[in-house]
Amino acid sequence: MTHRWRHSKQTLRLVNPSDSLDDSPPQDGSLRASVLPAPAYYEAFRDLRLIETSPLGTTDTLSFGATTPSSLNRSSTTNTNSMAYSHHYSSASTSSDPREPMMENPPNYGDSRNPVGPVTYQFSNLPGGGTLLLPPESAPNTRPVYHIRTTQNTFAPLSHRTVVHRGSSEQGEFIGEFEFGMSANDAYILLHKKALPLPQVLYKSQKPQGSVSYTVYGKWTWRWPRTPVPLFWNCIDRSEGWTCELEDKTRLAEYVPPHLSPSRGMTLPTLEVMPTGQKYFDDILFGAIILEQKNSLPSFTVINRAFCSKEMYNF
């Protein structure tokens, strides 16, 4: 005889085998089940738990006895973690039963401790376009830190737009973007959902001398409203790299531009970030890319010969 378990609010009444079996439904509306001898395979499934989740977030467990199901117990437990089974869900995060598969919660990729020492990140070009900023192979987390893509402005072909996402693709968290070049439009930067004209954020450092301020050659100041302190870039010697510092000369990062190697050809740039610079990582990255792109533009001397104009770039 095949018995079917039906989910309902009816009670389950166990009938002793010695009682006469009557196929007619009980008068009190309860379900009738007969206690038959346990089959041979019952021992292997004696600890099986059937889980029902109520709308209030509690889990009702139907527990069967170790020998024959002579009693029916219902217990309510709080559903705190999710662990998948092949045919039901359990509220337990760990189990002593080795037959129950366990699935650990995925790691929180947003939580990471700052490195205790300097970390040198490598820029790496993607075959389909774009660039990744990769940590060293010895780092505990070797996932790409940023995805960077530069595209041409359709309506201003000599102006380029650079977009930065966190992670390995454009599906990652959007960090910001900037655009400048040969265009009548103003150069801009959008960072952390705030947009500003680019010359207001990154500009040549000024050194006061009496009542007059002079531009310091090779020195740039990065001042973002949501960054508590300004950052200072020293770009005097390209061959030795550019350094990013605080006002008290605390070193935050060093950017090494690409250079021609006799054995490897043109190398990709690197960005070394100190432990104190990790919290300014977004600002440092944007500053390094903007300065590198600006440095790669043709000099005014060459441009002047062709176009006779000093107002060629909007930044």
Of 226, 293, 281, the residue nearest 112 (C-alpha) = 281
Question: Does the structure show a pLDDT above 60 at 298?
Answer: yes
How sure is the predictor about 147, in pLDDT bands with cuts at 50, 70 and 90? very high
Domain ranges of the chain: 14-90, 119-307
By CB neighbour count within 10 A (0-12 exposed, 13-18 middle, 19+ buried), where does 48 fall?
A: middle
CATH topology of domain 119-307: Tubby Protein; Chain A (3.20.90)
Distances in whole angstroms, Cα of residue 281 to Cα of each of 55, 194, 278, 298: 45, 17, 5, 28
CB 286 within 8 A of CB 159: no
The residue among 35, 32, 15 whose CA lies nearest residue 24 is: 32
Residue showing tokens 């990013």 = 244
Which pLDDT score is estimated for 177? Answer: 98
Q: What pairs with residue 24 in β-bridges?
A: none
Q: How far is CA 134 from the centre of its chain?
A: 14
Summarize pLDDT for 51-66 with one digit per residue, the tens.
444 444 444 444 444 4
Q: What does R_g of the chain's alpha carbons equal in angstroms?
A: 34
C-alpha–C-alpha distance, residues 190 and 180, integer Å: 12
| Per-residue pLDDT at 158 | 92
CB-CB neighbours of 208 under 10 Å: 8
Number of H helices, E strands in the chain: 3, 22
Distance set, CA 155 to CA 147, 152, 183, 195, 273 (Å) = 24, 9, 9, 20, 36
- The tens digit of pLDDT for each residue in 160-193 reads 999 999 999 999 999 999 999 999 999 999 999 9
Considering only CA atoms, which of 204, 148, 150 is closest in space to residue 180? 150
Tell me the pLDDT tens digit for each residue of 233-274.
999 887 788 999 999 999 999 999 988 888 888 888 999 999
* 121 or 268, higher pLDDT: 121
CA 18 to each of CA 14, 21, 36, 275: distance values in angstroms, whole numbers, following the listed order: 12, 9, 10, 78
CB-CB contact of 179 with 187 (8 Å): yes
pTM score of the predicted model: 0.62
| Residues 180 and 315: beta-carbon distance below 8 Å | yes
